[in-house]
C-alpha cells in the first residue's frame, strides 16, 4: 500500500510500442532502466502501458497518459520500415502535422555515406511540427520531444543512450529515498506487526516481497519516502519488529 | 503495422500490479511467459498495463481492460501483507463483496502446520463472492478467477504454475502461426520492398527488427498469420526480396 504521492510529486508514464513485446518474442529491457533513471532524479514512474503497432492504440494510450502525468516516455516504432508508425501516431495524438525535421535530416545526412540516405531512412526524420531532437549516440537517427512526450527507440542500447541524454531536460521533484531490510521470517509471521508500522508511518511506502533462499522463506522489506529522518525512524521500527519476532534483520539490495 | 485482428480473434490483456516493477527494483518476468502461453493456444495478448499498489489505479485499469478484451490476467498483490490489496480492489471493480472463500480456507488449512495459519495468512483466502480458485502448486495460497479475470501471484515461479494450470479454462481462437527470416541487410535497404510485400499481404502481420552481429547490421523479419498457406506465400516473397537485394535469407529464432 502506498499513500497518494504528494501534490508536488513529479510523475511519469511509459508507453511501450511493439507487437514483439506483446507476442513474447522480445523481453522488454527498457522499463527497469527508465524506472531507475526516473527514481534517481526525483521523477516517479506511475504507469506503464504496452500497446501494439496500431495507430489508434498508440493515439489512445498516449493521450490518456500525457494528460495525466508530468512526463511520458515512449519506446519503439521509430525506424525506417512500414511497421514503424510511432511518429505519425504521435503527431495524430497531438493534432499536429508531420514534417521532415530539417535538423534530423542534417543528422542523417552527416551519418550515412553519399547515396545511402534512402527514402526509408529519410522517413526517420519525420516528426510532428515543433518537435525537438533527442540524440541517438548509437545509430544517429534521432528521437524527439514534443510537449511533455519523449519519443525513443525500442532497441535497448539506443533507448538507454537517448534516455541518458534527455534526462537533463527533466525537472524532478523531491528525491525518493529507500531503505531495504532483509528479514529471515516469512510474510505470514510479520504481516500484522508490519501493518501496524505502516499505519504509524503512512507517509512511508512499505513494500513486502517474499523470497526463498535454499528453500527457506524470508521477506525483503523496502521502505520509501523523500524524507530521510522519517524513513530512518520507520526503518528502525521495522528492524526492531524483526528482532522482536525472533529474526535478525539484514541489509538487502534495494 | 498490423491489420486489426479478425472479429473472431480471442484477445487478452495483462494488468501487472506492483510498486516494485514501477520503481525498477524488480524486472518483470511474467509478461513474456504469459504472452507466449497465450500465443500457443490462440489467444492474442493485446495490451499490458503496470499500475502501483493503489486501489483506485487497480480498479480503473481492470475495468478498462475487462470490458475490452476476452480475458484479463493480473499478477501481484495477493499475499498476506498490508500492501497486498489486489483481491479487495478486484471485488471493488466488480461491485462484489469480499469473503473468506471456504475452499481457499480449506487449502490453506491443509498446507500450514497446526497453529501456523495466522490471520494474515487467512487473508489470502479473501476473494470476491463467486470466485473460483486457481491452484498454486508452489506455496498453496490460491489465485482466483472472477468473470473473465484471472488473478495470479507476482512471484514468477508461482505465476507460471498458476498460469499453466488455468490455461485449460481458456478457449482460444485460430492459432497464430509465424515464420521468422533472418536478413543480412539493414532495415534501410529493404524497407521499400518490404512495405510492398506488406501491402500485397495485408492479412499477414510483418514485423521488422534490426540487429547487430559483430557490428554488422541485419534485420529479423517476423511474419504472423493464422493462415498457413498465405503465411508461406508471404514468407517466400520475403525470401525472394532478400535474395534480389543481394542477401541470403536465413532462419531466425521466432
- Domain check: are B164 and B188 in the same one? no
Chain A residues within an 8 Å CB radius of B6: none
If one counts every other C-beta atom within 10 angstroms of the C-beta of residue B7, the result is: 6
Tell whether A222 lies on the interface with B, counting CB pairs under 8 A. yes
Q: Is the pLDDT of residue A6 over 70?
A: no
Grid cell locating B28: 518483470
- The span from the CA of B92 to the CA of B149, in Å, is 13
- Domain check: are B54 and B147 in the same one? yes
- The span from the CA of B101 to the CA of B153, in Å, is 17
Q: Is the pLDDT of residue A105 over 80?
A: yes
- Domain check: are B107 and B72 in the same one? yes
Please tell me whether residue B44 adopts helix, strand or coil conformation.
strand
Residues 6+ apart with CB under 8 A from B18: B26, B50, B52, B53, B75, B76, B77, B154
- Domain check: are A192 and A145 in the same one? no
CA distance B41 to chain A (A): 12
- Domain check: are A160 and A187 in the same one? no
CA distance A127 to chain B (A): 18
- The span from the CA of B159 to the CA of A16, in Å, is 22
Angle in degrees, CA A74, A51, B154, rounded to 5: 95
**Lowest mean per-residue pLDDT among A94-103, A243-252, B75-84, B233-242:** A243-252
What is the bridge-based pairing of β-strands B216-225 and B132-134? unpaired
Which has the higher per-residue pLDDT, B252 or A64?
A64
Q: Is the pLDDT of residue B29 over 60?
A: yes
- According to the model, what pLDDT value does residue B82 have? 96
CA distance B132 to chain A (A): 23
Q: What is the ipTM of this complex?
A: 0.94
- The span from the CA of A120 to the CA of A142, in Å, is 14
- The span from the CA of B143 to the CA of B159, in Å, is 9
C-beta of residue A30 within 8 angstroms of C-beta of residue A1: no
C-beta of residue B28 within 8 angstroms of C-beta of residue A33: no
Residue of B nearest to A139 (CA): B217
Q: Is the pLDDT of residue B1 over 80?
A: no
Interface size A-B, in CB pairs within 8 Å, comes to 199
* Contact yes or no for A39 and B31 at CB 8 A: no
Predicted TM-score (pTM) of the model is: 0.94
- Rounded mean pLDDT of A14-32? 97
- According to the model, what pLDDT value does residue A227 have? 96
Tell whether A6 lies on the interface with B, counting CB pairs under 8 A. no
- Domain check: are A84 and A161 in the same one? yes
The domain containing residue A235 runs over which residues? 177-251
Burial B76-99 (b: 16+ CB within 10 A, else e): bbbbbbbbbbbbbbbbbbbebebe
- Domain check: are B165 and B66 in the same one? yes
- Domain check: are B82 and B163 in the same one? yes
Structural domain total, chain A: 2
CATH number reported for the structural domain that contains residue A165 in this entry: 3.40.980.10
Distance of CA B156 to the CA centre of its chain: 13
Which helix (H) or strand (E) is B240 found in, with range? helix B228-244
Please tell me whether residue A22 adopts helix, strand or coil conformation.
helix
- Domain check: are B185 and B82 in the same one? no
Amino acid at each position: 500500500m502506498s499513500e497518494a504521492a504528494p501534490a508536488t510529486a513529479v510523475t511519469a508514464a511509459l508507453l511501450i510500442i511493439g507487437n514483439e513485446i506483446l507476442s513474447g518474442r522480445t523481453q522488454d529491457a527498457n522499463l527497469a532502466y527508465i524506472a531507475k533513471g526516473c527514481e534517481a532524479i526525483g521523477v516517479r514512474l506511475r504507469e506503464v502501458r504496452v500497446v501494439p503497432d496500431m495507430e489508434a492504440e498508440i493515439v489512445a494510450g498516449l493521450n490518456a497518459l500525457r494528460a495525466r502525468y508530468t512526463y511520458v516516455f515512449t519506446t519503439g516504432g521509430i525506424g525506417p520500415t512500414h511497421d514503424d508508425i510511432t511518429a505519425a501516431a504521435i503527431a495524430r495524438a497531438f493534432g499536429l502535422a508531420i514534417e521532415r525535421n530539417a535538423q534530423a535530416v542534417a543528422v542523417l545526412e552527416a551519418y550515412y555515406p553519399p547515396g545511402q540516405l534512402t527514402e526509408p531512412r529519410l522517413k526517420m526524420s519525420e516528426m510532428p511540427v515543433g518537435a525537438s531532437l533527442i540524440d541517438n549516440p548509437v545509430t544517429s537517427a534521432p528521437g524527439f520531444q514534443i510537449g511533455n512526450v519523449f519519443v525513443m527507440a525500442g532497441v535497448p542500447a539506443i533507448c538507454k543512450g537517448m534516455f541518458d541524454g534527455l534526462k537533463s531536460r527533466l525537472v524532478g521533484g523531491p528525491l525518493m529515498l529507500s531503505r531495504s531490510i532483509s528479514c529471515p521470517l516469512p510474510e505470514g509471521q510479520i504481516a500484522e506487526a508490519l501493518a501496524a508500522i505502516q499505519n504509524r508511518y503512512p507517509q512511508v511506502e512499505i513494500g513486502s516481497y517474499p523470497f526463498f533462499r535454499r528453500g527457506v522463506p524470508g521477506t525483503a522489506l523496502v521502505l520509501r519516502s523523500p524524507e530521510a529522518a522519517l524513513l530512518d525512524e520507520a526503518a528502525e521500527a521495522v528492524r526492531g519488529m524483526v528482532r522482536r519476532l525472533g529474526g535478525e534483520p539484514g541489509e538487502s539490495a534495494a
